[in-house]
Amino acid sequence: MRCYLDHVATNPLDPQVFDAMLPYFKEEFGNPLSIYDLGIKARTAIENAREQVGKLINSKPSNIIFTSSGAEANNLALRGLAMAKQSTGKHVLVSKVEHHSILNSARVLEKSGFAVTYLPVDKYGVVDPDVVKSSITKETILVSITHASSEIGSIEPIKEISKITKQKKILLHTDAVATCGNIPVDVNDLDVDALSIAAHQFYGPKGAGALYVREGVRIVPLIYGGIQEGGRRAGTENVPAIVGMGKAAEIAMQRMSDRIAHCQRLRDRIIESILKIPNVYLTGHPENRLPHHASFVVEFIEGEAMLLMLAMKGIYAASGSACSSRALKSSPVLLSLGVQTALAQGSIVFTLGQGNTDAEIDYLLDEFPKVISRLREMSPFAKGWQQGS
């Protein structure tokens, strides 16, 4: 059996999305800037996708800037908004549970003379709006807090934070890569100035992302060149990917409640069953979390070992963020929750999708305890525990 439980890494492309994209790889290959009919068709397709993505987040189409990824959208937001506002101040707030595309962009800003405050989180990885408020100085120009961390699944209080930033006239960006297309995201309800999206998180293609930027908010581009995206992001557009993103957004709106109900039920089965295994703990918020997200730390063993053994059984999961996992580093997100370094090594994340079945979850829940037992038998750290000392 193959059991794909790593939907925050990426999702399979929806067949309807693939069908929508196909003509733009083949006969409709025109450059959207060309003035003849081939170009007009490509341009019309992009504008249609802009409308579809806009609807998904309740935005005017003109406030959507297509990018190559969620990471590019995050880079553009953090660096572009900070650079545009630097004449009024050079202080930026981000949380400690941000994706690397935010944290590393923040570090680049620090090298360019900005001051960055990395906000702490509680044991569930949630930012306290009062801490945001007390961290704001006269120099603060931008706050960027993720809508939900893909590592721990906790949903952040963006609406509460936006009340503070609005009052202080500070820009607020949220990285909604993990949420957009999976749970309702409304830029007006959240009252954010900028919001990042990635298509492959909701059954769209890789290589397609977007940044919402509220009307009237200035941004310095990362990529200069042509007039694409109103001069805000140059480069000939990836038309098939943008078309796919639009279609995926349209489908996400139609199927969101079904997807949430389906994933949440399976997620709750996983959490309930896995927490019965001794010395396994849930990470992230127990209730206010992504409906398709179940994350744990398993004591005495390493996440990498669990991943490999699960993969041998055809079960695909994740251990922390892809970057931390590859670097064999403890996840900075888990450490920021107060998880001890040794325990943070035993991180495992299961994320569900519309294609997962109860039979797959049965299989996981049968195999995963065996994997833990086998690894604990081999683990020198587990010995004392097994002997009860």
Partner 1 sequence: MKFVDNVKADVTADIVYMMCPMHLLKLDEMMKKIEKGQILEIMTDYDGALEDIPQWCEKTGNEFIGIHEDEDYFKFYVRKLV
Q: What is the CA angle 322-285-316, rounded to 5?
A: 35
| Minimum distance from residue 52 beta carbon to partner 1 (Å) | 23
The yes or no reply on residue 221 touching partner 1 (CB under 8 A) is: yes
d(C-alpha 19, C-alpha 365), whole Å: 35
> Is residue 79 left, alpha or beta, with left meaning phi > 0 and alpha meaning psi from -120 to 50?
alpha
| Minimum distance from residue 94 beta carbon to partner 1 (Å) | 22
Toward partner 1, which CB reaches closer, 228 or 283?
Answer: 228
- Exactly one of 3, 180, 263, 323 is catalytic; name it: 323
d(C-alpha 378, C-alpha 368), whole Å: 16
Residue type for position 281? Y
Tell me the C-alpha to C-alpha distance, in Å, between residue 100 and each of 88, 97, 105, 324.
26, 9, 8, 9
Is residue 82 within 8 A of residue 141, CB to CB? The reply is yes
Toward partner 1, which CB reaches closer, 219 or 256?
Answer: 219
d(C-alpha 73, C-alpha 296), whole Å: 29
Per CB under 8 A, contacts with partner 1 among 80-109 are 83-84, 87
| Minimum distance from residue 230 beta carbon to partner 1 (Å) | 7
| Minimum distance from residue 375 beta carbon to partner 1 (Å) | 53
Toward partner 1, which CB reaches closer, 237 or 360?
Answer: 237
| Choice from 79, 232, 259, 376 touching partner 1 (CB under 8 A) | 232
Strands 209-213 and 194-198: antiparallel
d(C-alpha 224, C-alpha 278), whole Å: 55
The yes or no reply on residue 378 touching partner 1 (CB under 8 A) is: no
Reduce the DSSP state of residue 3 to 3 states and report it.
strand
| Choice from 220, 222, 260, 322 touching partner 1 (CB under 8 A) | 220
Tell me the C-alpha to C-alpha distance, in Å, between residue 371 and each of 94, 223, 279, 302, 374.
37, 47, 14, 11, 5
The yes or no reply on residue 222 touching partner 1 (CB under 8 A) is: no
Using the contact rule CB under 8 A, the part of the chain among 204-212, 213-221, 322-330, 355-363 near partner 1 is 213-221
| Minimum distance from residue 220 beta carbon to partner 1 (Å) | 5
The number of beta carbons lying within 10 Å of the beta carbon of residue 134 is: 11
d(C-alpha 288, C-alpha 259), whole Å: 17
| Choice from 36, 113, 227, 389 touching partner 1 (CB under 8 A) | 227
Tell me the C-alpha to C-alpha distance, in Å, between residue 192 and each of 171, 173, 196, 277, 349.
8, 6, 11, 41, 29
Toward partner 1, which CB reaches closer, 87 or 254?
Answer: 87
Using the contact rule CB under 8 A, the part of the chain among 60-68, 114-122, 153-161, 225-233 near partner 1 is 225-233
The yes or no reply on residue 159 touching partner 1 (CB under 8 A) is: no
Catalytic, 323? Answer yes
Toward partner 1, which CB reaches closer, 231 or 286?
Answer: 231
Residue 205: phi and psi, rounded to 5, are -80, 160
Kindly state the number of chain residues that form the binding site for partner 1, as judged by CB under 8 A: 13
d(C-alpha 98, C-alpha 95), whole Å: 6
| Choice from 224, 236, 278, 384 touching partner 1 (CB under 8 A) | 224
From residue 28 to residue 67, the character string flagging contacts with partner 1 as x (rule: CB under 8 A) and all else as - is: ----------------------------------------
Which residues have a Cβ under 8 Å from the Cβ of 84 and sit 6 or more positions away? 217, 218, 219, 220
The yes or no reply on residue 187 touching partner 1 (CB under 8 A) is: no
Strand partners, 282: 296
Using the contact rule CB under 8 A, the part of the chain among 135-143, 181-189, 223-231, 266-274 near partner 1 is 223-231
Toward partner 1, which CB reaches closer, 63 or 336?
Answer: 63
The yes or no reply on residue 216 touching partner 1 (CB under 8 A) is: yes
Toward partner 1, which CB reaches closer, 9 or 211?
Answer: 211
Using the contact rule CB under 8 A, the part of the chain among 38-46, 112-120, 177-185, 228-236 near partner 1 is 228-236
Residues that bind partner 1 (CB under 8 A): 83-84, 87, 216, 218-221, 224, 227, 230-232
So which residues are the catalytic ones? 323
